[in-house]
A and B are shown apart, each in its own frame.
Chain A
Amino acid sequence: MAILITKRLLMMLLTMFAVSLILFLLLEIDVDTIAIKVLGQFSTEEQRYLWLERNGYYEPVYKRYIIWLGNFITGDFGTSTIYKIPVAEVLWPRLWNTTILAFWVFVFLVPVSLVLGILSGMREGSKLDRTISVVSILTTSVPEFASTVFFSGLFVFSLQWLPGTSSMFEGFDWKQLVLPVLVLLVYDFGYVTRMTRASMAEVMTTHYVRTAVLKGLPYKRVILKHALRNALIAPFTVLMLQINWLLSGVIVVEFFYAYKGFGALLLEAALRQDIYMIEACTMVAVFVVVMTQVFSDIAYTLLNPRIRFS
């Protein structure tokens, strides 16, 4: 077990390292464009030269990369060109807001998708199964940006129940959180439901479930005691990996609802070429994804005795 964790963590470090190298080469190899992006279009040749000189941009590339990486690891991401303050001061609060959003999505996503998936996988081909399958295909076919439009039309315009933006200018307001959570939930639950259904349906055809049914155990007991334990291993991994999707979805939803989160920040940074912000946001995003992969791998091993003991 310890070997597995160390191996996975080392792999993760290697991936982060490679990603950082690519990112650095992509964004910082050409020093003249950096100077333009940081100092603006209307800076003079001389200003750019002085700035580059002062910030050590005329050092060899490998040296610059090492210094950059060192600063990065110690949490010094540079100064944002949009906000004119250190990137970290903008990034962490924004990341916290997105964490709140993602937390509420998961609070609803986990029970909804697992229950629906188990119900439809329990009796494959039944009417309930067909209905749930069609609904989940339907909801995953409507992209987030389309459902933001539909839901806003319904809840903001027609019914006037909820506010149309979620900028939270006057402090935290749960009403403003409802629509972003709903949109992400509707788009994401279908996939997890279908995965849970597939896993459950597979378990239902195994010999030990058949044996349990044939020896006369109550159906409820067969499901709860025998089937579920094995059926839930795969959906657990799927749920963990869903964080990758959520990070993409969050960009669209935060952009539409003007929610002050991480996704909107990343998009803004990319559109306005705030390179230090792009670097920091991307590394954070990749870190989160890689971390969840490591966690799901370890958890999968812990949950699945066949792997644990081999």
Chain B
Amino acid sequence: MSEATLNTATEAKNPVSGLRRIIMMIGLMRESPAGMVGAFLVSFWVLVAIFAPLISPFEPNATLVPFMKPGAVNPDGGTFWLGTDHIGRDILSRIIWGSRTVLFYAPLATFCAYVLGIVMGLVAGYYRGWIDDVLSRIGDMILSFPVLVLYIIIISTVGASGLNIVIAIVFASGPGIMRIVRGLVLDLRNRDYVAAAQTRGESAWRIMLVEILPNARGPLIVDACLRMGYVIINIGVLGFLGLGLPPPDPDWGGMINETRQMALIFPHMTVIPCIAISTLILGFNLLADGMRDISLRD
């Protein structure tokens, strides 16, 4: 019962939540032009992904007329605004549907990596001692692999599928996140409010999750944005190397790989997915930069 009253008390004390908070964030973002551009790019692709069935002119996997230049007219009606690829699939539709693929797997993988990294970092930083040593050593070991080498070995051993890519990314980025969280926890665990919670007799997990974690959120949000960019790059790279999601569903990296041999004759097939993925990554990087600016200000 006491916990319920505590929750309502904190909510009443803090009416600036949900929508108001997001509006405040946008207001702050206005002060950083780079952050605004980033927010615009990211929300553009998110909207494209959400409304993919409505805005995509053709079926992404339908084979229509091959080797069409951008702007060519389909004899059966409609226009290939960005042309078609070597087996006649409309590139615009594949780009639109491909945004769903990348914006599903990248946030999912980043989120799972964060859950793992945060739990490991909290435990290592809060308990210290042997558990910290063990976790840190394991982390060091995983981080001593060049990232892509680790991905290639994992994916080529367990096979390429969406789930395996997520697992590989979680495995490879978890330790990096752990390091950051651990560093933050080492600083925060000596604060007075943590001592107060310990005196109140709160459980270790409650202290870690309710007292420490929310106070570490600033740097973590910025890092998550940057990391999202890297994860998108890595999903793209895996697709590009032929280790990505299995065809035929559209995946930007895979689209580049399939058509790169023809890039000199039909540059649009390769260049367009490259632009798509670069703008999305740029969006996340600018967003991270803007948020860092804002967080440094106050």
Instruction: Select one of B152, B260, B271, B281 contacting A267, CB under 8 A.
Output: B152
A224 at the interface (CB under 8 A from B): no
B242 at the interface (CB under 8 A from A): yes
> Which residues in A have their C-beta under 8 angstroms from that of B145?
19, 282, 285-286, 289
> Which residues in A have their C-beta under 8 angstroms from that of B270?
149
Give the A-binding residues of B (Cβ under 8 A).
34, 140-141, 144-149, 152-153, 156-157, 229, 233, 236-237, 240-243, 253, 256, 260, 263-264, 267, 270-271, 274-275, 277-278, 281-282, 285-286, 289
Interface residues as binary, A102-143 with B (CB distance below 8 Å gives 1, 0 otherwise): 000000000000000000000000000000011001101111
Interface residues as binary, A219-258 with B (CB distance below 8 Å gives 1, 0 otherwise): 0000000000000000000000000110111011001100
Supply 11 A–B pairs (Cβ within 8 Å), ascending by A. A15-B144, A19-B145, A137-B34, A137-B286, A142-B281, A146-B278, A149-B256, A247-B146, A247-B149, A251-B152, A281-B149
Distance A245 CA – B277 CA, assembled complex (angstroms)? 20
Q: Are A251 and B233 touching (Cβ within 8 A)?
A: no
Instruction: Select one of A137, A244, A273, A282 contacting B285, CB under 8 A.
Output: A137
Q: Are B282 and A138 touching (Cβ within 8 A)?
A: yes
- List 13 additional contacts besides A146-B274, A271-B156; criterion CB under 8 Å: A18-B141, A142-B281, A146-B278, A149-B256, A149-B270, A244-B146, A248-B148, A251-B149, A252-B241, A266-B149, A270-B152, A270-B156, A286-B144
The stretch that binds B, out of A42-50, A66-74, A81-89, A150-158, is: A150-158
Interface of A is mostly: helix
Q: Are B260 and A149 touching (Cβ within 8 A)?
A: yes
Q: How far is the CB of B274 from chain A (nearest CB, A)?
A: 4
Q: Are B263 and A285 touching (Cβ within 8 A)?
A: no
Q: Are A248 and B147 touching (Cβ within 8 A)?
A: yes
Q: How far is the CB of B122 from chain A (nearest CB, A)?
A: 24
Chain A residue nearest in CB terms to B252: A146
